[in-house]
Amino acid sequence: MESLDQSLFHFMSSSHFRPLHLADIRYITQQLLEALKELSKFKLVHGDLKPDNIMLVDHKREPFKIKLIDFGISMDVRALIPGSVIQAIGCRPQKWFWEHR
């Protein structure tokens, strides 16, 4: 298995959630869009996209180079039902959780 540095959430947490520079946000966003574009070629939806599942590869050598991880609840696009929710329960807004319990 590949050794990765830390999650984007951990990085943000360790820097007390100080905002990133716009150039860094752009770089991360471009990489995420490329990853999602690749998933779309295979007709897959990640299903659990959050800062915990965006890993920094090696922040000291390659600042903000990322990899997308945790495809545990990814789904085939053709299996999705319009209006269905596939994200992990822990990421759902509290109001939604209590209304759909």
CATH number, residue 81 = 1.10.510.10
Report the C-alpha gap between 97 and 52 in whole angstroms. Answer: 20
Check 5, 24, 48, 52 and give the catalytic one.
Answer: 48
Q: Is residue 26 part of a domain?
A: yes
DSSP state of 77: G
Active-site residue, 58 included: no
Q: Is 68 exposed, middle or buried (0-12, 13-18, 19+ CB in 10 A)?
A: middle
Q: Is residue 86 part of a domain?
A: yes
Instruction: Tell me the per-residue pLDDT of 38-93, one tens digit each, with 9 for 90 and over.
Output: 999 999 999 889 999 999 999 999 999 999 999 988 889 888 888 777 766 665 55
Q: Is residue 1 part of a domain?
A: no
* pTM of the full structure: 0.81
Q: How many domains does the chain have?
A: 1
Report the C-alpha gap between 101 and 95 in whole angstroms. Answer: 10
Per-residue pLDDT at 32: 97
